[in-house]
């Protein structure tokens, strides 16, 4: 796991990779939706580029909000994961639930919700609620804070619980970390096929646990 470190001047950079028994500092984490071609990547940060991309603004927002909450470190999936490395990507997907769960703060950045307009209707139809990882990110943390595209606070998952309950859907890949299951990612396969593969994995896991319990009873 790599984090972003915000300096006193407002600049941010990638930390070393935390592995094994390394002590991971307290950090904030960003939940958001992606737009192809607009996101700042791991390679951008390594090469010192990407400031002209639209996605740079939400990374800067996350760093600023983390500082307001007394945190110097923060994590954003688009640029903290080396997606060119399939092993690193798969490990990150399987670890995602734990990374969200261990975060001190979680900020949901709603790029299509503006406080200039009425926030209630826009909140209900935000693209974030159709995002494949919504369920995972809502369940992982006790407190999840929602912000508009201007960075203005809209509420948290407790104060907005009724609206969230009425809106949300779940997705197969977001359940991998929750069930601690390793499953290859097949982008474009469709939700139905992904769920069928997930169900087979869960069934095998349960059958294996039952067989182990039966053997333990015999001995």
Cα separation, 53 vs 72, whole angstroms: 23
Task: Examine residue 49 and state whether it is found in any structural domain, yes or no.
Answer: yes
Task: Examine residue 65 and state whether it is found in any structural domain, yes or no.
Answer: yes
Lowest average pLDDT, out of 23-32, 178-187, 199-208, goes to 178-187
- pLDDT of residue 175 exceeding 70, the answer is no
Cα separation, 161 vs 167, whole angstroms: 10
Task: Examine residue 212 and state whether it is found in any structural domain, yes or no.
Answer: no
- pLDDT tens per residue, range 110-160: 999 998 876 567 888 899 988 777 878 888 888 999 999 999 999 999 999
Cα separation, 219 vs 217, whole angstroms: 5
Task: Examine residue 97 and state whether it is found in any structural domain, yes or no.
Answer: yes
Cα separation, 28 vs 4, whole angstroms: 10
Cα separation, 3 vs 16, whole angstroms: 8
> Could you tell me the strand order of the sheet in which 145-147 lies?
12-14, 4-6, 73-75, 27-31, 105-109, 145-147, 153-156
How many domains, the chain?
A: 1
Residue ranges making up the domain that contains 129: 4-170
Task: Examine residue 201 and state whether it is found in any structural domain, yes or no.
Answer: no
Which among 156, 117, 115, 152 is positioned nearest to 138, based on CA atoms? 156
- Tell me how far CA of residue 16 lies from CA of 19, 117, 142, 207, in angstroms: 9, 41, 28, 40
pTM: 0.77
CA atoms within 13 A on the CB side of 124: 7
Cα separation, 124 vs 90, whole angstroms: 32
- pLDDT of residue 35 exceeding 60, the answer is yes
Task: Examine residue 15 and state whether it is found in any structural domain, yes or no.
Answer: yes
Q: What pLDDT was estimated at residue 19?
A: 87
The average confidence (pLDDT) of the chain is 86
Task: Examine residue 87 and state whether it is found in any structural domain, yes or no.
Answer: yes
Task: Examine residue 204 and state whether it is found in any structural domain, yes or no.
Answer: no
- DSSP state letter for 26: P
- pLDDT tens per residue, range 5-14: 999 888 899 9
The angle formed by the CA atoms of residues 17, 20 and 26, to the nearest 5 degrees, is: 60
Could you give phi then psi for residue 15, rounded to 5 degrees? Answer: -85, 180
């Amino acid at each position: 796991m790599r984090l972003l470190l915000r300096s006193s001047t407002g600049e941010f950079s990638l930390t070393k990779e935390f592995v094994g028994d390394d002590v991971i500092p307290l950090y904030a984490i960003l939940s958001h939706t992606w737009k192809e071609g607009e996101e700042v990547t791991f390679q951008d940060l390594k090469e010192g580029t990407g400031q002209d991309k639209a996605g740079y603004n939400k990374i800067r927002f996350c760093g600023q909000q983390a500082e307001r909450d007394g945190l110097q470190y923060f994590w954003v999936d688009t640029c903290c994961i080396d997606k060119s490395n399939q092993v690193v990507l798969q490990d990150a997907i399987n670890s995602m639930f734990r990374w969200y769960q261990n975060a001190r703060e979680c900020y949901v950045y709603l790029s299509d919700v503006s406080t200039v307009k009425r926030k209630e209707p826009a909140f209900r139809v935000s693209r974030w609620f159709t995002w494949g990882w919504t369920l995972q990110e809502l369940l992982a943390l006790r407190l999840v804070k929602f912000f508009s595209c201007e960075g203005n606070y809209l509420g948290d998952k407790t104060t907005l619980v009724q609206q969230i309950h009425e809106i949300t859907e779940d997705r197969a890949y977001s359940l991998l970390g929750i069930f601690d299951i390793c499953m290859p990612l097949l982008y474009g396969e469709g939700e139905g096929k992904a769920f069928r593969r997930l169900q087979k994995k869960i069934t095998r896991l349960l059958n294996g646990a039952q067989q182990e319990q039966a053997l333990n009873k015999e001995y």
